Amino acid sequence: MRRSLEVWKMGTVNYLEALKLQEKLASDRKALKITDTLLSLQHPPTYTLGKRQTVHNLLIPDSELKAVGAELHYTQRGGDITFHGPHQAILYPIVSLRDIGLGARKYVEKLELTMIELASIYGVKAQVGKRCETGVWVEDRKIGAIGVRISSGITSHGLAFNMDPDLNYFKHIVPCGIADKDVTSLKKEADVELPAEEVIQEQLIACFVRIFGYNDVILKDKSVL
């Protein structure tokens, strides 16, 4: 059976704008108005809290967020607190799990594999975390985060892979609620020179397409929106 995916390459998008767009697309996907859709983008510096909202994992007072140039938003995705920012490749799949025959656990595993495969392109051996350690890791250093929302079988939110973000932002949080672990990036872990970030983001899309088994892919440049 052929599977179609529409990929939106969006550049840098404000977090709240991306959130509203995901909600609209998820509603349209549920109503069968659109096919499976993948948003590829970056965010300005933003901290987000998932449904396990443990605010004490934000180590900086709300009043000081503006000083470090970051926003804070509460979301309905799974997981705890994380950081999104420039030089981080983000994918938000709006897909019907029923149509592709996946349960929630298998879906998350495929998101993990997407990031693991991307890292392997650059000779970086990444793997899933230990029990209760979400995301993708290089030894005990986190390189990719996952936080998803599934409603009526339609996904939103997704994954964030660290290409070369300012890792100092992670010092203000306990990433995903996991203490005493470092955060890393492809830039720090790879022994080869990295290409332009747009190339890495396209490779991440290609890994997603292959692992999820899409046959027909429609690319749309939405960066001008």
211 is in an annotated binding site: no
Q: Is 113 annotated as a binding residue?
A: no
Cβ 29 vs Cβ 154: under 8 Å = yes
160 marked as part of a ligand binding site: yes
Structure tokens at 156: 């939103």
The rounded distance, in Å, linking the Cα atoms of 59 and 98 is: 39
| Helix (H), strand (E), coil (C) string for 124-190 | CCCEECCCCCCCEEECCEEEEEEEEEEECCEEEEEEEEECCCCHHHHHHECHHHCCCCEECCHHHHC
48 marked among binding-site residues = no
> Which pair of tokens denotes residue 93?
């799949």
Quickly tell me which residue has 């970030």 as its tokens.
Answer: 197
83 is in an annotated binding site: yes
81 is in an annotated binding site: yes
Annotated binding residue at 78?
yes
Q: Is 116 annotated as a binding residue?
A: no
159 marked ligand binding residue:
yes
Pair 41, 225: CB distance under 8 Å = no
> Is 176 in the active site?
yes
Which of 7, 115, 176, 178 is labelled catalytic? 176
Can you say which residues are annotated as belonging to the binding site? 77-84, 145-147, 158-160
Can you say which residues are annotated as belonging to the binding site for substrate? 77-84, 145-147, 158-160
- The catalytic residue positions are 176
